[in-house]
Structure formats: structure tokens, C-alpha cells
Amino acid sequence: MSADSTAALVSEAIDQVLTHRERNCTDPSCARHAGTTDCPPITVSRSPGSVLGEAVAEAWHAAGGSRLDIPAGVVAALALWPQKSPGAEAADTIAAYIAAQPPRVLVRGLAESADFYWGLRPDLWTAARPLFDWTREDLNDTELAGVRAVAPAALRHGVLQHTGDTDPAERSRIDLLSWVITSLRHHHSRRSLGEYHTPPDISELLAAVLAADNGAGGNRRRGEWALEPAAGTGGLFRSAAQDLRRDGEDPAERGWIMLELDPLAAAGAAVNALVWELGPRAFVGCGDVLAQLDLAEDTLAKARDMARHRDDVMKLIGFAIATRTTDQLLDALTASRWRLARSTPRGPGLKEDGGSPRPPREPGRSPGAARRHARAQPYPRVRADLRMPRRRGPVVLAHRHRAPVLRTRALPRRSRPKAGPPDQSAAHR
């Protein structure tokens, strides 16, 4: 990733953190603050994957949609939805909330659901991008209507019931994305890639046979790696992982490499690796295994680079947030000094004549520019203000109009006016 895009990423992250921390977000599509909270319950059933896939495809095509990445991405983002609960007991409530959101809020929420995983697994997040890139596009009305139709269809057929459990074994009962992607594809395009994913019964049988073979030979060891060179959305690994769990093993202790030519199927495999919790050594590479013989090694190397880059970016973000927050505090402190000075003619920091402490206006500099110029050099003024009470009394930081206001008990001798009319406002303080 170039330095420019890293800087943009860091800057966007800080803006998000600071904006949401202050709870003053005005972005109309922000799912956290602008979404509706009027969410009537919806009827949900935990339908089989085939029924859910058909319902999604029907809703999408009825709304006039043509692309595959959008409806498949809607389901993938819902499957990744980060709030999981035991027995998926919160799924109904979350489904009602998501189904009630207006289209742009919905798109933003789905994007955030996917983005949540960048910090966890930047490589899988990157492999999954073909399913989520559309969330950053300016969608047309048909596409928005399609998203608005697909999400409730998937929710009503139980996408969150399938994927909202805290137990990964429960989330691995079906390969939801395989059902959705294959339902969305027309038969002719499926045939061109040979993309008929193995039916779950067969893949479970295969996993059981392989496990029995390995078990008899004593080959089945913790820490082993498995490679799937034509992985589709990873259905065979789902069965293998479930088989391990049934035997009391944690699939996360193994290594899983899935390679796949079709970017959308590879993206589905990456999402599945997260939903099924295949663990920190589950990787997805997209490419032609016949032409790229080192695709597996290349996938692992890229994943290491992305993790390093993620760590660098996180450090930068932490540092930048800390420094920007300090800067904002100083700014607020300085601004509050101006306000205080304006409302209390004899406040601390005033000039001897009791007038405004503003710097003299330079010719050609507007009042706004003068303020910005003064704020750009806050240190001498702030340090002088903070030194002052140490000699004369304690500093009290109070909140007035949400900005910190600096008050002192008494004025330093130097700042007191030598002579002049009695100060009315001082008498009321």
C-alpha cells in the first residue's frame, strides 16, 4: 500500500473515531447515529440454505438488479455482522433493526460490518473485497432498491440465525454463501467455470472418509495444514472443520489454505473462514492454480505483509489520535479563554486597560483570520495563563457550553488595572 493511501486510511480512521466519540456526527448515512430506531419486529424463519439463496436471488432480480456482487455482498455482510449471541438469541432484534434502516444507512452499516474485520484479518478482509467494494460506490436507485429488497429477504429467511451464534460450530452448519452465489448465477455462467459446489452431504461424507483414513494411519495431527486448490467458497473445509469439532478438536489449531480462480467465490471463502472461525492460519488466495504454481506461498507471504502493514497503521492511528486530541484540547482551552475574556472584562489575561486581550488587528487580516493566527500560536498564552493561578489560587476547570472554561480565584497583581471606573460585571461574579 502506498504512503498516500496509508495516510488517507489513517486520516479517515481518526476522523471517524473523533467524530463518533464526540457524538456529533451529522452524516445522514451514518448507521450509528442517523439510523431509525423505529423497528417493528419481522417474521423470521431459519430456512435451509437453498431456500434462502433462492429468496435472495428472487428479491434481487425482482428489484431489477443485474450484478452479483451486491446481493451476495449483502448476505456476506449480514453473515459477518459482529454482534453474536449465545444461541443467536439476539438475532431477531438485530434483524428487525437492520430491516428497518433506509437504503443508504443500510449500505453504510453493511460496509462497517465488513470493515470490522480489517483489524482482525487484513488478508481475509482484502480477499473478501470483491463482495464489499460496491458499498463504496455511488449506487443508483435500482441498486439501492435491490439492497433494500435483498436484506429483508435474507433476514426473514434467517441469515442471522444461521450466523449469529457465538459458537462457531453453530455458525458452520451450512455454507450459506455457496447457496447464495450459486442461486444468483445463471446456469450458463456456472457451467463455464465448473462452479457447482459439492453438495453438503457429499462433502461431509468426503471429510468423514478422509478423517477415518488419517485416523487409522495415525496421521491426523494437530497443527497439520490442508490445501484446497479449487476451493469454491470452502465447503469441503467446512465439513472437515465440523468433523474435527465433533472429535473435540479445534480447527483453529490447524492450517487451511483455500485457492480459487473466481474472485467472488474466493471472497465467499474468505468470509466463510471468518464466520466458521477456521482460525489464524486460514488463508485464501485468488488465482489460477494451473498458471501460478506458487499461489499458496504467495498468499501466505502477502498475508504476512498485510498483517505487518495493519500493525504499522494501528500504531500510526493511535499516535495520530493522541496528538490530534491534545491539539483539540489546546484549541478548546484557547478558544474558551477568548470567550471568557469577552464576557468578563476583568478576567485573567486581560490587558491593563481592562479591554479585550485580542492581539491588535493587523491591516488586511480579517477577525476570523486574526483568531486563527492567534490560535496557531497558543503556547505562550496558555502557559502564561496556567502559571498565573499558581501564585494566586487554584485553577478550576468547569464545563460551560460543553467547552472547558478556565477560572481563577484572583487576578495576578500585574494584571490589575491601576485606576479606572468600578467594574459592574466584576461585582456580579
Place of cell 473515531: 17
- Which residues lie across from 282 on neighbouring strands? 256
Residue 235 lies near ligand SAM (rule: CB under 6 A): yes
Q: Provide the 8-state DSSP code for 101.
A: S
Site for ligand SAM in 176-195 (CB under 6 A): 193-195
CA distance 113 to 256: 24
Residue 230 lies near ligand SAM (rule: CB under 6 A): yes
* Residue with the CB atom nearest ligand SAM in the bound state: 232
Angle between helices 263-275 and 69-80 (to 10 degrees): 10
Residue 28 lies near ligand SAM (rule: CB under 6 A): no
Residue 236 lies near ligand SAM (rule: CB under 6 A): yes
- For 220, residues 6+ apart whose C-beta sits below 8 A from its C-beta are 211, 214
Residue 44 lies near ligand SAM (rule: CB under 6 A): no
Residue selected from 35, 49, 232, 255 as contacting ligand SAM according to rule CB under 6 A? 232
**H-helix segments, 48-173:** 49-62, 69-80, 91-99, 103-115, 122-127, 141-156, 159-163, 168-171
Q: How many residues bind ligand SAM (CB under 6 A)?
A: 21
- If the CB atoms of residues 199 and 420 are measured against ligand SAM, the closer one turns out to be 199
CB of 268 to ligand SAM, least distance (A): 9
- If the CB atoms of residues 139 and 289 are measured against ligand SAM, the closer one turns out to be 289
Site for ligand SAM in 262-281 (CB under 6 A): 262, 265
- If the CB atoms of residues 82 and 194 are measured against ligand SAM, the closer one turns out to be 194
The burial class, CB within 10 Å (0-12 / 13-18 / 19+), for 206 is middle
- If the CB atoms of residues 169 and 289 are measured against ligand SAM, the closer one turns out to be 289
- If the CB atoms of residues 164 and 235 are measured against ligand SAM, the closer one turns out to be 235
Q: Specify whether the CB–CB gap between 408 and 393 falls below 8 A.
A: yes
- If the CB atoms of residues 13 and 231 are measured against ligand SAM, the closer one turns out to be 231
CB of 288 to ligand SAM, least distance (A): 4
Residue 83 backbone phi and psi in degrees, to 5: -85, 105
- If the CB atoms of residues 228 and 243 are measured against ligand SAM, the closer one turns out to be 228
CB of 65 to ligand SAM, least distance (A): 22
Q: Specify whether the CB–CB gap between 93 and 81 falls below 8 A.
A: no
Q: 311 in helix, strand or coil?
A: helix
Residue 226 lies near ligand SAM (rule: CB under 6 A): no
- Scanning 138-146, 231-239, 300-308, 410-418 for contacts with ligand SAM by CB under 6 A, the matching segment is 231-239
CB of 302 to ligand SAM, least distance (A): 17
- If the CB atoms of residues 113 and 272 are measured against ligand SAM, the closer one turns out to be 272
State how far the alpha carbon of 380 is from the alpha carbons of 330, 377, 392, in Å: 12, 7, 19
Q: Specify whether the CB–CB gap between 374 and 358 falls below 8 A.
A: yes
Residue selected from 7, 120, 290, 384 as contacting ligand SAM according to rule CB under 6 A? 290
CB of 68 to ligand SAM, least distance (A): 14
CB of 124 to ligand SAM, least distance (A): 18
The burial class, CB within 10 Å (0-12 / 13-18 / 19+), for 239 is buried
- If the CB atoms of residues 156 and 197 are measured against ligand SAM, the closer one turns out to be 197
State how far the alpha carbon of 292 is from the alpha carbons of 192, 286, 341, in Å: 20, 10, 70
Q: Specify whether the CB–CB gap between 91 and 44 falls below 8 A.
A: yes
Chain mean position to CA 370: 39
- If the CB atoms of residues 164 and 200 are measured against ligand SAM, the closer one turns out to be 200
Residue 259 lies near ligand SAM (rule: CB under 6 A): yes
Interface positions with ligand SAM (CB under 6 A): 193-198, 203, 228, 230-232, 235-236, 259-262, 265, 288-290
